[in-house]
Each structure stands twice: as structure tokens, then as C-alpha cells.
Amino acid sequence: MLTNVKAKTLSTQMVEPPHRLSFWREVICDVFVKLDCERVREEGEFSGTIVNGSIGDLQFSEVISTGQHVIRSKAQLARASGDYFLISVQTAGHGRVVQDGRTADLSVGQFALYDTSRPYELMFEDNFSQLVIRIPRQAFSNRVMVSDRLTARAMNGRQGVGRIALSYLAELDRSFPSVDPSMCGRLCDTFIDLLSLAVSSDHMDQPDVSNVRLTQLYRIQRYIEDHLSEPDLSPQRVAAHHRISTRYLNMLFEAADSTAARWIWQRRLEKCERDLLDPRYAGRTIGEIAYSWGFNDLTHFSRTFKARYGLSPRDYRESKRSLVSPH
């Protein structure tokens, strides 16, 4: 994987053996988040290579290394920057992800989700390789209510939705050289949708963590996503469709620190923000884009957009255009 995406390779072979572990610590901190790393065996040389590339807001890293113990401690959280979810896909050897009181033992073809905002550990007893996908928190949590029930669980990437998601990623990598750059955002959105579905469906299949409310919330979020462009989409309509009260609907959204109305506006704003930056829609007015995603009051749209992104829709569009304009 990452054979066609523009990538950077960082390897301990770049430095002398006595300095390789300290170099590796610096590399993984730069690529992922603040971490500590220790060898699991003193004998033999330590080695590690990371091939790191990005598509849109997603970062992909192929990690090939000798055994190690990686720790994300409370001390590192205190001086951390960035807020991400990470998904590790085991591609060779065995790995272990520890978070929220659980341990996910990963063999080839399995993957696990973990949250960089809380402590975690990664353990590898022998040589291994993984594909690590870094996803901005907002991009993932907008699609599925991610709680500590979903972290550090071994999920199957060889069947079901997990296989579909990883197959899509492999095809995206193969086709990347011929992909119009303006399409990258949409392609990444599709991949995140598939990952969200894979994580959620795997979680729902486990009877020991079955949760009726999480299942309901996920289905409601998917319904909202499918009907965002319809102006009459409202909490009342969503509740009626799912045969629940609006009070119960908002109680479900408390788990996502939101309300149904806020969730709808947030997703509509994000769709509009994406289209404002899409070169294919350069000829569309701001009003046309806003109305296409269910807004029916342009003044309200402009006000809420500025509150979210810090600029009016027009200024936001122009500022982003200036960043990519040729000089």
C-alpha cells in the first residue's frame, strides 16, 4: 500500500546504531502524536521504517519495525497537540493495542481503533508491520458516536464491511495517480464512511457490548446524512420517522455532546464548506450551495457559517482560493 500516494520515508538506517532508538522516538512523535518507545529485547539491532503519506485530511503510515513497547501517557497528553483517532491494521506479525481497560490482540488482517486524547499502549513482541490511519477527530465523530466501548477491540478486516473499507483503500491507492485532485476530499469522505460503518457494525455484533442506544443513534445519524439536502429535515421529522419522542431523540444525542438540531446544522455546514472549496462548484453561488444542503435562510446560513469557520462564506471561499492560485 502507499505505492502511488506521494510519501516520505523515514528509517533508522539513516543514523548510526547507538542513536537509532532515540531517532525512532522522534520520528513516531513527529508522524503520529507525542509518544515514548522502549525496546522489548536488548539483543540485536533496533530498526524501524515509516512510509508516510496523505490523501486529503487522512494520513497513512506504513510502519515496519522490530519489537517495541509504545506508550502514550498522561504526561504526553499534557503537552500534546492535535486530536485524532488512529486505526492500526496489522499487515505482518502480531500487535497489541491497550486502551480503556481493554486489550486488542491483532493478527494479520485485523485492525483496532484508539483515541489519542486518552492514554494507550502498543506492544509488539517481535518484528511487525502495520498500516496506521490517522483521522481527525471531528471527521470521524461526525459519522459515528465513538465512545470508549469502541476502542481497543480487534476487528476483522478480511470479511464484512471491514474488508470493503480496506479494499476501497487499496483501490484508492492504485488509482491515485489518475484521480482529479479536486475529488480527494470526496474520496476520503467515502473511506471514512466505510470505516465508521465497519467499526460500528463490528461493535454491534458483539453481545458483550451491545447497546440499544448506540445502535439507535448510529441509525439516526445515517438517516440524517441521507436526508441533509431536504429543507424540511428537522428533529421532529427524525423522531417521527424512528417512532420516538423528540425528548428521547435529544437524550440519544447527549452521548455525542450534541442535540439533533445541532447535529443537522453541523453536518449541513460541513457539506457547504466542502462544496465552497470544490473547483467543480466554482460557478455556483453561495446561496445555491447553501440551498442545496437544506438551508432556506441565507442570512442564517452566513451567520452560522462565520460562527463555525471564523469567516463569512464569501471570505472563506476567497481565502482558500488565494492559497492555491498560481503566482
pLDDT in tens, 114-159: 999 889 999 999 999 999 999 988 788 767 666 667 889 999 999 8
Task: Please give the model's pTM, rounded to 2 decimal places.
Answer: 0.69
* Confidence check: pLDDT of 82 > 70: no
* Confidence check: pLDDT of 209 > 60: no
What's the grid cell of residue 63?
510502519
pLDDT computed for residue 327 by the predictor: 41
One-letter amino acid for residue 56 of the chain = G
Q: Is 42 exposed, middle or buried (0-12, 13-18, 19+ CB in 10 A)?
A: exposed
Count of C-beta atoms within a 10 Å radius of residue 240: 13
Q: Where are the beta strands (DSSP E) in 173-299?
A: none
Show the CA angle centred on residue 272, arms to residues 270 and 276, nearest 5°: 120
Distance CA 216, CA 222 (A): 10
Distance CA 88, CA 61 (A): 9
> What DSSP line would sit under 146-163, residue for residue?
--TTTSS--EESSSHHHH
Distance CA 230, CA 249 (A): 19
pLDDT computed for residue 210 by the predictor: 41
* Confidence check: pLDDT of 326 > 50: no
325: confidence class by pLDDT, cuts 50, 70, 90: very low
Distance CA 219, CA 76 (A): 36
Under DSSP, is residue 138 helix (H, G, I), strand (E, B) or coil? helix
Mind listing the domains of the chain with CATH numbers?
Answer: 7-203 (2.60.120.10), 212-309 (1.10.10.60)
What proportion of the chain, given as a percentage, has pLDDT over 70?
89
One-letter amino acid for residue 93 of the chain = G
One-letter amino acid for residue 164 of the chain = I
322: confidence class by pLDDT, cuts 50, 70, 90: low
Q: What are phi and psi of 294, to 5 degrees?
A: 95, -5
